[in-house]
Amino acid sequence: MIIRVHTPNRTIRGFPRLSLGPILLGLLLLAHGWPAPTLAVEAGCISGDCVNGRGVYQFPDGAQYSGTFKEGHKHGSGTYTFAGGGRYSGEFVNDKKHGVGMFENANGDRYEGEFREDQRHGQGVYTYAGGDLYRGQFVRGQMEGSGEYLFAGGDRYLGQYHQGRRHGFGLYFYNTGSLYAGHFRQNLRHGEGLLFFDDGVCYAGPFDHGRRAAQGLWLPDRIQFRPRDLGQHRTAMVREETPGSEGERFIGQMVDGKRLGFGWLRTAAGKTYLGSFRKGVPDGVGLVILSSGLRYAGELKQNRRQGWGTETQPDGTRYAGNYQDGKKQGAGRLEYPDGTIYEGAFHNDLPHGRGKLSEPSGKQYLGGFQNGRRHGMGTIIDTDGQLSVQLFEDGKPVVE
């Protein structure tokens, strides 16, 4: 049995006026042993302007929306509470989650970031009820592009994703202390890679569906890396060892007198490289450590950064993302020593395009950038969660 209750807009001392008739009827039915009635709220506008303004609308299934409307549609900013217990707070366009928002699932999962037409799309952070956390790019609801995944068990992955899986180049830090830097395919180590074991042994070579291939190289124990250098290590079998020119030292694989395969190189200037070689120069997957302390782990093409990689500068500035011709280009994440974080598009080493800037105070800006400065229309998320839209030109707000 269903008893429908319609709640008028009028209130008495701040409380809505309710009819006692349905409640008394329900008690009477229970007293005679009849099944308890179900109370259902009629769909409609509870308060405010649910056409062109701000109001509260009750849906037939029990869901409720509180926010701004345009021509009768959810449009602007608001909060939608699902009948099953989930909740979304953020921006809407024509009844769809679109823009910046936060979604809390009934199962305890939480997503905060960008939406497009009801799907996670853009930069965001997804926290799982079980303790895992992913932050990075989404495309049509799936992890896609560059991201970082923190496992509840202590493992950590930093790298590329495709259709929700580790795919491309990445760094996988095991909770045992081991580290893999190389290519992935469908969540498995596949392609060129460097595997640093927690006992100090290092393997450099190809991987096939998660397993080491026979043609890899085990490096000698006189090579000393430390965990903070993104690696470790000493080890066993050496294929080739030759003195280089101008004080260089090379240990690795050679074909016809040229460096080809995997090896270790230290230059007279103090630069150290561990990774793959082609045509005698670093090319493929590698780890670079400069005498200044700058460290790079990622993909290279003819000794220049090309593809995906991570860079840590001596002052603590860290970048993870795409490179082209040695410069930051495409999607990436840049963390500054003071806690400021930029996630988004880069061009010629600078934020350029659409991105998200998070300040240490908690304030956020999501919108356009040009040559490292805010430019164009963007959304500002204040420390209290309030949203506002602002136009910028060359880093400065435009006041109309």
DSSP sequence for 149-201: EE-TTS-EEEEEEETTEEEEEEEEE-TTS-EEEEEEETTEEEEEEEEE-TTSB
Q: Any idea which residue has 């970048």 for tokens? A: 319
Residues 239 and 204: their CA atoms lie apart, in Å, by 12
Q: Is 393 helix (H, G, I), strand (E, B) or coil?
A: strand
For 354, other C-beta atoms within 10 Å of its C-beta total 17
DSSP letters, 258-317, are: EEEEEEEEE-TTS-EEEEEEETTEEEEEEEEE-TTS-EEEEEEETTEEEEEEEEE-TTS-
pLDDT score, position 228: 40
Residues 136 and 159: their CA atoms lie apart, in Å, by 10
Domain membership flag for residue 199: no
Phi, psi for residue 245 in degrees, rounded to 5: -85, 155
pLDDT band at 35 (very low <50, low <70, confident <90, very high): low
Domain membership flag for residue 132: no
Domain that holds residue 22: 1-42
pLDDT score, position 3: 36
Contact 84, 59 (CB under 8 A): no
Residue 110 bridge partners (DSSP): 104, 127
Residues 323 and 343: their CA atoms lie apart, in Å, by 15
Phi, psi for residue 310 in degrees, rounded to 5: -125, 140
pLDDT score, position 219: 72
Measured between its terminal Cα atoms, the distance across the chain in Å is: 58
Residues 259 and 89: their CA atoms lie apart, in Å, by 57
Domain membership flag for residue 77: no
Helix H or strand E segment including 26: helix 21-31
Pairing of strands 373-381, 73-81: unpaired
Which residue in 72, 13, 70, 64 sits closest to 42, CA to CA?
Answer: 64
* 291-311 pLDDT, tens digit each: 999 999 999 999 999 999 999
Domain membership flag for residue 4: yes
Percent over 90 (pLDDT), the chain: 72
Amino acid at 93: V
Domain membership flag for residue 22: yes
pLDDT score, position 258: 87
* 75-134 pLDDT, tens digit each: 999 999 999 899 999 999 999 999 999 999 999 999 999 999 999 999 999 999 999 999
Residues 344 and 375: their CA atoms lie apart, in Å, by 14
Count up the domains in the chain and report the number. Answer: 1
The conformation of residue 25, written as its DSSP 8-state character, comes to: H
Of 183 and 227, more confident = 183
Residues 168 and 184: their CA atoms lie apart, in Å, by 5
Domain membership flag for residue 2: yes
Contact 217, 262 (CB under 8 A): yes
pLDDT score, position 172: 97
Contacts 24+ apart (CB under 8 A), 91-98: 91/115, 91/379, 91/387, 92/67, 92/68
pLDDT score, position 34: 54
The conformation of residue 244, written as its DSSP 8-state character, comes to: -
Average pLDDT over residues 152-158: 97
- CA distance readout (Å), 339 to 126, 295, 335: 20, 20, 7
Task: List alpha helices for 48-167, DSSP H.
Answer: none
Average pLDDT over residues 268-282: 93
Q: Is the pLDDT of residue 66 over 80?
A: yes
- Size (the chain), residues: 400
Phi, psi for residue 13 in degrees, rounded to 5: 55, 40
pLDDT score, position 213: 82
* Burial class of 198 by CB neighbour count within 10 A (0 to 12, 13 to 18, 19+): middle
Residue 300 bridge partners (DSSP): 284, 305
Contact 196, 248 (CB under 8 A): no
